Structure 1
Amino acid sequence: MPVPSGSDSLGESKVELERDGVRLAVSGPLATVTLCRGERRNAQTPATWRALIEAGQRLPGDVRVVVLRAEGVSFSAGLDRRMFTPEGIEGEKSFTELASSSDAELDEVIASFQGAFTWWRRNDVVSIAAVQGHAVGAGFQLALACDLRVVADDVQFAMRETGLGLVPDLAGTKPLLDLVGYARALEICATGRWVHAEEAERTGLANLVVPRAELDAAAEDLAAALLAAPRDAVIETKALLREGGGRVYDDQRAAERAAQARRLRDLAGIGD
């Protein structure tokens, strides 16, 4: 597992989970989640999503940064194509069976799928997606699930659900909208076109673009920079920024004051 530069004190990494194409390894305050079915371009299934949910549940309390990476030439080619066949995937409901469910049942199933894409933004960790090659559909949405994205210069994002008669439903529409705005988000989703590295960086989809050979090192350096700051200050700052989009200006100012008061009292050793 990659370890941030200059962070030998983190110690050896420990594999906490490895199943269904997902591996979780932890080294001190750094966790790495790896999509490890590179031979299938990390195509995703409901089993993948259950493993991703479990990875989030298994994070030790002292983890501060989570890096999401993938083996192989592609980050994730999206949904496993077997899900679109009448036979489906053994042990999983087919699309036809899902469509035959009641409204409540179908809503519950889709909500369970979304769980694999939601925990990355919780306030106590900062998540970084290191993305190479294709990130399509569910793969694009998984990259969007993270707080930050470092991408290789060969990256190709695409939201292909609309072309299949579906919609992006894995919690990706809100972060996409926040990052690139309504008009561009609609155009990307409705056309299903490719978004390459230069556009990704220019529009805010990517924080950083690097040569493919430097992707892991760039993610490690960013993780190291995040770990250098005091944890509670990062948690408070992330909460302010995540929740600020839903507040008016004066309410955000009030939230800043309250957060700063907590930090000052904590640093001074003054309890509530």
Structure 2
Amino acid sequence: MTQASNGPTLPPTEEELSRARLELVVEGPVARVTINCPERRNAMTGRTWTTLAHIGQTLPEDVRIVVISGKGDIFSAGIDLGMFSPEGVDGERSMVSGLADGTSTEAEVQDYIAGLQEGFLWLRRPDLVTIAAVRGHAVGAGFQLALSCDLRVLADDAQLCMKEPALGLVPDLTGTKPLVDIVGVHRAVEICLTARRVGAQEAQALGLAELVVASDELPGAVDDAVAALLATDREAATATKALLQQAAGNTLQQQAAAERGAQVGRLAALARGAAGR
């Protein structure tokens, strides 16, 4: 596990998870993170995302798979809009009050957002495979959280929506790049600037979902995906994911060289293993 040098060393406590509207269950190589605030449609706050970052920084080293889901019949309605009210949410300061009253500079707000983004960025780590299990609505930050994962398994009632522009905002939780990478810039513009809902079948056609199943089949489909992923050698999976992540930015020649280097590393590891038998 890669851990930030200045990050926490202990996982979040149950109290911290509860305040962040999250549940965490780790069973051997599988960690399951559940957004747990169904009374507010699993809306999230800044504390949700900083606690997600904390989870990523303190996962046990043997964890290979992370599954993100929402409690009940909805993935997440996105940011709790109380975050934009003068009083904020549950002890968290409003995201706009500091700029409004001059107590926060734009640079300070950028630093704050950077901290929130850390809750999404770790899901791309090559040593993990991350799965979003989406039923019901995945709106705004919820959609971006699903986009942060390697795989998206959708129930047939899933609805994806990038709501931020309709609220006078921009998507700022690392979702714009994967959206453009998957659907292209023109379709991404249409999805974001109309803030329309993308249903499960359309999401699959666009490449935003790897699998669509009936709602009652979602847990089983996710478990099947987890089992298939765990059947692959961990080191080979990590090296392959790292190769795939750099492919879009590489020329063919650069990618071929990267493949050679990665393969030599794998062959050397296999040779060491054979010699040790």
TM-score by length of 2: 0.89
Distance 1:246 1:104 in 2: 29
Instruction: Report the residue type matching 1:94 in the other structure.
Output: S
Find runs of 4+ consecutive structure 1 residues off by over 4 angstroms: none
Q: CA deviation at 1:16?
A: 7.1
Residue 34 (structure 1) aligned with residue 73 (structure 2): no
SS in 1 for 2:24: strand
1:150 paired residue number: 153
Instruction: Report the residue type matching 1:138 in the other structure.
Output: A
Distance 1:217 1:83 in 2: 35
CA contact (8 A) 2:84 2:96 kept: no
2:128 paired residue number: 125
1:234-249 equivalences under 5 Å are: 234-249=237-252
Identify the range of structure 1 (34-43 vs 190-199) with the bigger mean alpha-carbon deviation.
34-43
Residue 232 (structure 1) aligned with residue 214 (structure 2): no
Distance 1:142 1:51 in 2: 14
CA contact (8 A) 1:22 1:33 kept: yes
1:10 paired residue number: none
1:83 paired residue number: 83
SS in 2 for 1:73: coil
Give aligned-pair identity as a percent. 54
Identify the range of structure 1 (132-141 vs 91-100) with the bigger mean alpha-carbon deviation.
91-100
Instruction: Report the residue type matching 2:158 in the other structure.
Output: V
Identify the range of structure 1 (113-122 vs 100-109) with the bigger mean alpha-carbon deviation.
100-109
Residue 204 (structure 1) aligned with residue 207 (structure 2): yes
Residue 176 (structure 1) aligned with residue 179 (structure 2): yes
Distance 1:194 1:265 in 2: 49
Which deviations, in whole Å up to 9, do the C-alpha atoms of 1:218-253 show, x marking residues without a partner?
111101100000000000000000111111110000
CA contact (8 A) 1:16 1:26 kept: no
User: Using CA pairs below 8 Å that are at least 6 residues apart, which structure has the higher relative contact order?
Assistant: 1
Distance 1:144 1:96 in 2: 26
CA contact (8 A) 1:16 1:58 kept: no
CA contact (8 A) 1:16 1:24 kept: no
1:11-30 equivalences under 5 Å are: 17=14, 18-19=17-18, 20-30=20-30
Which deviations, in whole Å up to 9, do the C-alpha atoms of 1:189-230 show, x marking residues without a partner?
111000001110001000000000011111111011000000
Q: CA deviation at 1:90?
A: 4.0
CA contact (8 A) 1:141 1:170 kept: yes
TM-score by length of 1: 0.91
Instruction: Give unpaired runs (5+ residues) of structure 1.
Output: 1-14
Which deviations, in whole Å up to 9, do the C-alpha atoms of 1:106-150 show, x marking residues without a partner?
110110111111110101100000000000000000101111000
Q: CA deviation at 1:155?
A: 0.2
Residue 115 (structure 1) aligned with residue 98 (structure 2): no
1:8 paired residue number: none
Distance 1:35 1:262 in 2: 38
CA contact (8 A) 2:68 2:133 kept: yes
2:190 paired residue number: 187
Distance 1:127 1:120 in 2: 6
2:6 paired residue number: none
CA contact (8 A) 1:52 1:116 kept: yes
Question: For this pair of structures, how many residues does the alignment match?
Answer: 257
Distance 2:218 2:55 in 1: 22
2:270 paired residue number: 267
SS in 2 for 1:68: strand
Residue 257 (structure 1) aligned with residue 260 (structure 2): yes
2:9 paired residue number: none
2:138 paired residue number: 135
Which deviations, in whole Å up to 9, do the C-alpha atoms of 1:161-211 show, x marking residues without a partner?
001111000000001111111110111011100000111000100000000
Instruction: Report the residue type matching 1:146 in the other structure.
Output: C
2:96 paired residue number: 96
CA contact (8 A) 2:86 2:97 kept: no
1:3 paired residue number: none
